[in-house]
Chains A and B, each alone.
Chain A
Amino acid sequence: MTDLLAESLYVVAALLFVLSLKFMAEVRTSRMGNICGVAGMAVAIGATLLAYQTQNVDLLVGAVAIGVVVGSPIGLKVAMTAVPQRTAMSHAFGSLAVALVGAAEYYHDAPAIDPATLSVLSGEMVLGFLTFTGSCIAFAKLQGLISGKPLLYRGRMFVSMGVLGVAIASAAYLVANPSQEMVLPLVAGAALVFGFLLVIAIGGADMPTVIAILNSFAGISAAALGFVLDNQLLIVAGTLDGSSGLILGIIMSKAMNRSFTNILFGGVGATVTGTTSTETRVAQTYTPEDVATIMRDARSVIFAPGYGMAVAQAQHVVKELADVLQARGIDVKYAIHPVAGRMPGHMNVLLAEAQVPYDQLWEMDRVNPLFPETDVVIVVGANDVTNPAARTRPDSPLYGMPILDVDKARTVVFIKRSMGPGFSGVDNELFYLPKTMMVLGDAKKVLTELLSSLRNMGN
């Protein structure tokens, strides 16, 4: 009887989860989406507690208390610049939880466990454990605990595939011999090592895609656990999460003109393959005052921000500058490249935090046709995503990547710490165009000076 009640409540929870994502379609309804998510979770947990009365009340309360104590400060305090790291951490936690439940389920039932169940269970554990270590490495790279450079060595593919082979072979052995409990740690160990090897060989610049792929893995492993436990709510929730990660991953890889295989196994970012021309080209550098003079006569301005803006903590000055420009009747927009920032949608969040109204945030496809009619583009902390070589030079590693067409604007102001190349290690020919004004220095400092020059000019 309680089982039937619980099952019915699971249907309600699944519906609430679906509605939750439906409401995320637009900003206006998005907070309702989160509320539906919370409600669905509450229904699911309530139903489970009702149907499965636990003998281990102390253990349960203790474990939940730890979750609340650890989770609350993360949710309430983490800086918006650190959200990518926290996302990687949450994938690590989620996939480990799923893998551990899988292991517990095995130890609970073994050896009375049929091959079909055990196959799904082993697959779920392999995926869960490799996602755990992979996400831990992604976290360490994003947090700067370890170098963002890919760790590459000869025969790397051979080693990785060998370890994955061990994981799969030992899992297959376990399926054939369910009573061999000692094999499980081997399966888990090999999967953990494979996850480590996989992500350690991927460069920091690819982390937005990697996070999305790990997101997808975490979701799929949760769905697989649903198959094992014959729990349809878990299948639905895990699949929705897996779908989300997959789609975001596809968007990210398209925005970098790379395939999943190339990102996961390509090791891009270690070697500079760009054509570093020997001719010495000189970029014209300007002062913030020079830029202020140009901007005084501008009628339209587009900011093209990159993660460097957030590193310099310059988003608030950018917003102030935008306010001053708007007060002068100048049209202001922000051009958002899909991989600006360090995870899908990250730049929007960083700017929203600086109180930039979201209707000024223009995504790449929508803003690109507007550049030819734009007087001034200000590139802050971005580089590769503006490099025209992506359109024009087939020999460039960036060739084919969709970019913001800032070079088509009448004047391009490039605020940069130094003349160094971007993540890809490729020189940007935009620096040397006659219409480009390079302003070297810390983004926040340069923008603050630009702001005060503009203010001093009066109307």
Chain B
Amino acid sequence: MTAINSADLITNLLIFLLATVLGQELIRHVSRLLHTPLMALTNAISSVSFIAALIVLAEPNTEEVSLLAAVAVALAATNIVSGFLLTDRILRMFKRRKTGK
């Protein structure tokens, strides 16, 4: 059922390359102050693999497929929840000096 056809592959490679260039540009401009929360944030974002687990879970044909997908859902959900909460908690700690001092 799953088959990478060559037209899709080329399109996806193009997307991959563009995303790499864009990613390098974006990350290079992130303040060094924020590298720790950046890691927490990108980790949560890449846990969008959650949707891949959802897709597999939607049409499982065997027990073991459902089980593998369900474990993946739990792991990705853990990362999404903890990643965004932690990023927010860290970012709230960064404060400027009070003005006038």
Contacts and interface: CB of A to CB of B under 8 A. Distances in A.
Contacts of B94: 27, 30, 348, 352, 358
Given A71-B82, A234-B51, A243-B23, A31 B92 contact: yes
Given A17-B45, A243-B23, A101 B15 contact: no
Contacts of B82: 70-72, 74-75, 78, 86, 90
For the residues of B in contact with A, the DSSP-based class is helix
Interface residues of B, number: 87
A37 B49 contact: no
Contacts of B37: 24, 30, 34, 345, 349
A356 B55 CA distance: 45
A228 B87 contact: no
Contacts of A48: 51, 54-55
Nearest to B43: A90
A25 B16 contact: no
A286 interface: no
A61 to B, nearest CB: 10
B86 A101 contact: no
B52 A231 contact: yes
Contacts of B89: 75-76
A175 to B, nearest CB: 13
A77 B50 CA distance: 23
Contacts, number: 386
Given A103-B68, A104-B68, A241-B45, A71 B80 contact: yes
A218 to B, nearest CB: 7
A97 B49 contact: yes
A247 to B, nearest CB: 5
A118 B75 CA distance: 24
- Which residue, A55, A76, A113, A241, has most C-beta atoms of chain B within 10 A? A241
A240 B23 contact: yes
Nearest to B40: A87
Contact of B78 (A20, A62, A71, A107): A71
Interface stretch (A39-47, A412-420, A441-449): A39-47
Contacts of A205: none
Given A22-B26, A72-B81, A75-B86, A359 B51 contact: no
A298 interface: no
A355 interface: yes
B69 A355 contact: no
Contact of A235 (B16, B65, B97): B16
Given A63-B70, A248-B39, A349-B90, A237 B45 contact: yes
Contacts of B88: 31, 34
Contact of A59 (B26, B48, B66, B80): B66
Contacts of A83: 36, 40, 86, 90
A232 B65 CA distance: 23
B6 to A, nearest CB: 8
B97 A234 contact: no
Contacts of A133: none
Interface size class of A (residues with CB under 8 A): 35 or more
Nearest to B23: A243
Contacts of A120: 4
Contacts of B87: 34, 37
A344 interface: yes
A116 interface: yes
Contacts of B12: 226-227, 230, 232, 235
A64 interface: yes
Interface in A1-31: 13, 17-18, 20-22, 24-27, 30-31
Interface in B74-100: 74-98
B41 A33 contact: yes
Contacts of B48: 13, 17, 40-41, 44, 222, 233-234, 237
Nearest to B76: A97
A64 B3 CA distance: 29
A56 B90 contact: no
B80 A222 contact: no
A143 interface: no
B68 A107 contact: yes
B2 A109 contact: yes
B83 A72 contact: no
Contacts of A40: 45, 48
A355 B95 contact: yes
Contact of B20 (A87, A234, A239, A251): A239
Contacts of B31: 24-27, 30
Given A18-B22, A31-B88, A104-B72, A349 B93 contact: yes
Q: Interface centre among B28, B35, B56, by most A CB within 10 Å?
A: B35
B49 to A, nearest CB: 5
Contacts of B81: 67-68, 71-72, 75
A60 B73 contact: yes
20 contacts: A20-B41, A21-B30, A22-B29, A26-B31, A27-B33, A37-B44, A40-B48, A41-B45, A59-B66, A74-B82, A96-B72, A211-B39, A226-B12, A228-B2, A240-B22, A244-B27, A338-B32, A349-B36, A357-B98, A358-B33
